[in-house]
C-alpha cells in the first residue's frame, strides 16, 4: 500500500503535463477562458462550473450560482472542500455594495486547547463545521432562487454519481493509508479492498445525497440541531472528539468585517480575520512602495518576494479591529517597506504553525459574476488533503481539520484562521477584478502576483494567470517554472546573486490556484488557473 501511495505521489508532483490534459470524460475541462456579457462562472471542477451556469441560465444571480457551485464542489472535489469544512465569501452587489460572510470552522466554546490531544488528523482535530451555515446565509441574504433549485445539482451528482477526475483520484490516493484508519472514510472514499479509487471510476455517494436532500428540504438547522448533528456528534464523541450538540447548535455564520486599501489608484476590498485579506492588502501596499517600475521580471520577482515576506511578519498580529486598520494603512506599509531596505523584515520560520510553512497547499476557490455585475469570490476548504481524513458512517462527507495545532492555537470559541483571501479590485468605485485562490500559505502571494501582473505589467487576466510566481521560504525564494515564458537559469542566478537560496519548482499547482473574473470592454472574462482542473463557462455556451 505504501508503494502505491509513493507512486501516486510521484505521478502527482512529478508530472510535466497538466492534469487537465489527462482528464477523460470532461472534454470541456480544457476551457480555461470564457468571455461573456451574460456572466461567467469559474470553479475548480467542470461539473461545479456547470451547476453555477445552470443557475444563471435560470435567471439566478451570482450568489445563486456560487452557492450551487460550492455545494457541487463538496461532492466532486472532497479532497479540497466539503460541507464538513469552512468557507469565506466576499460579495459585491451593485445595489448594496460589499458584504462578507464568515463560515469558518470553530472550536466548541468549552474546548480546552491546553489539555486537548494535539493530533494533525483524526477525530480530535475536528471542529464545528461552517460551510452549511455559511452558504445558507449567503443564499438567504443575497440569493434569489429557492434552496431546492440551488441544491439539486449537488444532490443529483451525489445520488447518481460522476466519473472521478484524474487529480481528485490521485489526491485521494496520496492519503490512502490515513483514510484506511477510519470506518466511514474506508466506506466512502476507498474501494472495498482498501485500495484507492482510480481516475474515471464512477463515484456514487448515496449517504451524502440524503444529507444534502435533508438540508435542501429542511434548511441548515437539520445539520446543526437535527438528525445529522446527532449522528455526527455521537460518532465524534465515541472516537475521542470534542464536539457536542450544544457546540453544533451554537454555531452561526457571521458577517465578516470588510478591510480595504489601495494599489496604484485601484481600490482593494477583502475580508478580515479569520481570513487573511488584511495581509494580502498589506503586501500589495508594501509592493507599491518598494518599486515604481515592475516591468522587469527580475525586479518584479525580488519585489514580490520582499513584499510578501514583510507582510507575513504580521500574520500572527491580527487580533482586533484596530489591528485591521493598522495593517491596511499606508503608514504601516511604509514602515514595513523601510524595514525591507534595512534588512529587518525576517520571518522566524521556526516559530510558525505547520500551515504557515507547508510547501503543499490545499483548498478550493470559485468566482462568479452575473450579467448585472454582481460578483462572488468564495473560498472553502477542509484543510489538508481530505481534511481530518474522517467521515462519519451514515453521513458521507469528510470533516475539516481544525483543532490540534496544524492551524496554530485555536482555543475555545475561536474560529480557525487561515490564508484564505478572496479579493476584489475596483476602479472609480466599480469592481473590475474578482479573484481568490487555493494553495494554503501561498494564497496571498499568488493573488498579489496576478494583481501586479495586471496593474504593473499591463497583462490580460489570461496572461497574468499563466505567468510564473514567486514565494518566500525559509532561507530563500521559490520561483516557478512555467515553460518558455517563465523564469530562466539567468533569473535563478540573479536571485542567487542577491543572497537567496533559490529553488525552482516545475510541478503543477505549487504556487496557488486562482479562479478569477475581470471586466472587459464587452462584458467579463473568466479565467481558470492553468495549473488545475478548473473550468470557466457562461450561460451563452
* 360-393 per-position pLDDT tens digit: 778 999 999 999 999 999 999 999 999 999 999 9
pLDDT band at 21 (very low <50, low <70, confident <90, very high): very low
pLDDT value of position 344: 65
CA-CA distance, 360 to 192, in Å (whole number)? Answer: 29
pLDDT value of position 91: 98
pLDDT value of position 19: 33
Over range 64-78, report the average pLDDT: 98
pLDDT band at 3 (very low <50, low <70, confident <90, very high): very low
Percent of the chain with pLDDT over 70: 93
By the 8 A CB rule, do 13 and 173 touch? no
Q: Which residue has the cell 494533525?
A: 120
pLDDT value of position 25: 39
pLDDT value of position 22: 32
Model pLDDT for residues 112-152, shown as the tens digit of each residue: 988 888 888 999 999 999 999 999 999 999 999 999 999 99
Domain ranges of the chain: 260-357+423-537
Over range 343-358, report the average pLDDT: 73
CA-CA distance, 210 to 152, in Å (whole number)? Answer: 12
Cα torsion through 377, 324, 452, 518, rounded to 10: 20
Least confident segment among 24-28, 107-111, 190-194, 292-296: 24-28
Model pLDDT for residues 144-179, shown as the tens digit of each residue: 999 999 999 999 999 999 999 999 999 999 999 999
Least confident segment among 100-104, 338-342, 343-347: 343-347
The SS3 assignment for 486 reads coil
pLDDT value of position 237: 97
Residue 29 has pLDDT above 70, yes or no: no
DSSP per position, 365-431:
EEEEEETT--EEEEEEE-SSTTTTS-B-TTT--BBP--SSSTTS---TT-B---S---EEEEETTEE
Distances (CA, A) of 330 to 40, 260, 309, 513: 34, 11, 17, 28
Q: Which residue has the cell 461545479?
A: 48
Residue 5 has pLDDT above 50, yes or no: no
Element (H, E) at 516: strand 513-520
CA-CA distance, 390 to 215, in Å (whole number)? Answer: 21
pLDDT value of position 481: 85
Model pLDDT for residues 434-464, shown as the tens digit of each residue: 999 999 999 999 999 999 999 999 999 999 9
- Which grid coordinates are listed for 330? 499606508
The SS3 assignment for 35 reads strand
Residue 2 has pLDDT above 60, yes or no: no
By the 8 A CB rule, do 10 and 169 touch? no
- Which grid coordinates are listed for 391? 467521515
CA-CA distance, 269 to 55, in Å (whole number)? Answer: 26
- DSSP type of residue 125: G
**CATH tag, 260-357+423-537:** 3.60.20.40
CA–chain centroid gap for 79, Å, is 12
Q: If you count them, how many residues does the chain have?
A: 541
How are beta strands 86-93 and 97-103 bridged, if at all?
antiparallel
CA-CA distance, 136 to 142, in Å (whole number)? Answer: 10
Beta bridge partners of 364: 380
How are beta strands 523-528 and 97-103 bridged, if at all?
unpaired
Least confident segment among 77-86, 166-175, 409-418, 502-511: 502-511
Which segments of 356-429 are extended strands (E)?
364-370, 375-381, 423-427
The SS3 assignment for 477 reads strand
* 118 vs 186 pLDDT, higher one: 186
Nearest to 165, CA basis, from 12, 14, 302: 12
pLDDT value of position 27: 40
Residue 77 has pLDDT above 60, yes or no: yes
pLDDT value of position 14: 38
Model pLDDT for residues 264-302, shown as the tens digit of each residue: 999 999 999 999 999 999 999 999 999 999 999 999 999
pLDDT value of position 345: 63
What's the whole-number average pLDDT of the chain?
Answer: 92
34-70 CB burial, b ≥16 within 10 A, e <16? bbbebbbbbbbbbbbbbbbbbbbeeebbbbbbbbbbb
CA-CA distance, 86 to 267, in Å (whole number)? Answer: 27
CA-CA distance, 361 to 407, in Å (whole number)? Answer: 13
Amino acid at each position: 500500500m505504501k508503494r502505491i501511495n509513493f507512486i501516486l505521489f510521484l505521478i502527482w508532483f512529478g508530472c510535466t503535463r497538466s492534469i487537465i490534459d489527462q482528464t477523460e470524460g470532461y472534454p470541456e475541462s480544457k476551457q480555461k477562458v470564457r468571455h461573456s456579457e451574460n456572466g461567467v462562472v469559474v470553479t475548480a471542477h467542470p461539473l461545479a462550473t456547470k451547476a453555477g451556469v445552470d443557475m444563471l441560465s435560470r435567471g439566478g444571480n451570482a450568489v445563486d450560482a456560487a452557492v450551487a457551485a460550492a455545494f457541487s464542489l463538496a461532492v466532486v472535489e472532497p479532497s479540497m472542500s466539503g460541507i464538513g469544512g469552512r468557507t469565506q465569501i466576499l460579495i459585491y452587489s451593485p445595489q448594496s455594495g460589499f458584504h462578507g460572510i464568515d463560515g469558518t470552522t470553530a472550536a466548541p466554546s468549552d474546548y480546552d486547547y491546553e489539555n486537548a490531544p494535539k493530533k494533525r488528523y483524526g477525530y480530535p482535530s475536528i471542529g464545528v463545521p461552517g460551510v452549511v451555515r455559511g452558504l445558507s446565509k449567503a443564499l438567504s441574504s443575497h440569493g434569489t432562487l429557492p434552496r431546492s433549485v440551488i441544491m439539486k445539482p449537488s444532490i443529483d451528482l451525489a445520488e447518481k454519481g460522476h466519473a472521478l477526475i484524474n487529480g481528485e483520484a490521485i489526491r485521494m490516493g496520496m492519503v490512502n493509508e490515513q483514510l484506511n484508519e477510519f470506518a466511514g472514510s474506508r466506506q466512502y472514499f476507498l474501494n472495498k479492498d482498501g485500495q484507492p479509487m482510480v481516475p474515471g471510476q464512477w463515484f456514487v455517494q448515496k449517504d451524502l445525497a440524503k444529507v444534502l436532500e435533508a438540508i435542501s428540504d429542511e434548511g441548515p438547522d437539520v445539520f446543526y440541531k437535527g438528525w445529522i448533528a446527532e449522528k455526527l456528534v455521537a460518532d465524534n464523541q465515541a472516537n475521542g472528539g470534542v464536539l457536542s450538540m450544544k457546540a453544533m447548535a451554537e454555531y452561526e455564520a457571521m458577517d465578516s468585517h470588510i478591510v480595504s486599501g489601495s494599489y496604484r489608484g485601484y481600490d482593494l476590498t477583502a475580508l478580515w480575520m479569520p481570513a487573511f485579506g488584511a495581509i494580502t492588502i498589506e503586501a500589495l501596499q508594501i509592493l507599491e512602495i518598494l518599486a515604481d517600475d515592475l516591468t522587469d521580471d527580475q525586479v518584479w520577482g525580488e519585489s514580490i518576494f520582499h513584499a510578501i515576506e514583510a507582510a507575513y511578519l504580521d500574520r500572527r498580529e491580527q487580533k482586533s479591529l484596530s489591528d485591521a486598520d493598522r495593517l491596511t494603512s499606508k503608514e504601516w506599509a511604509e514602515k514595513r517597506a523601510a524595514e525591507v531596505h534595512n534588512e529587518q523584515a525576517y520571518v522566524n520560520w521556526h516559530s510558525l504553525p505547520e500551515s504557515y510553512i507547508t510547501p503543499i497547499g490545499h483548498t478550493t476557490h470559485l468566482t462568479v459574476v452575473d450579467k448585472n455585475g454582481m460578483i462572488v469570490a468564495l473560498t472553502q476548504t477542509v484543510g489538508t488533503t481530505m481534511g481530518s481524513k474522517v467521515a462519519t458512517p451514515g453521513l458521507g462527507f469528510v470533516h475539516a481539520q481544525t483543532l490540534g495545532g496544524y492551524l496554530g492555537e485555536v482555543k475555545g470559541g475561536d474560529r480557525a484562521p487561515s490564508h484564505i483571501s478572496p479579493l476584489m479590485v475596483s476602479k472609480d468605485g466599480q469592481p473590475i477584478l474578482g479573484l481568490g485562490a487555493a494553495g494554503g500559505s501561498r494564497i496571498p502571494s499568488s493573488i498579489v502576483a496576478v494583481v501586479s501582473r495586471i496593474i504593473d505589467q499591463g497583462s490580460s487576466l489570461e496572461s497574468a494567470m499563466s505567468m510564473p510566481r514567486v514565494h518566500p521560504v525559509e532561507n530563500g525564494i521559490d520561483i516557478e517554472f512555467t515553460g518558455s515564458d517563465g523564469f530562466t537559469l539567468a533569473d535563478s542566478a540573479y536571485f542567487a546573486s542577491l543572497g537567496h537560496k533559490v529553488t525552482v519548482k516545475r510541478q503543477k499547482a505549487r504556487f496557488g490556484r486562482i479562479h478569477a473574473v475581470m471586466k472587459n470592454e464587452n462584458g467579463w472574462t473568466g479565467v481558470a488557473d492553468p495549473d488545475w482542473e478548473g473550468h470557466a463557462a457562461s450561460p451563452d455556451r
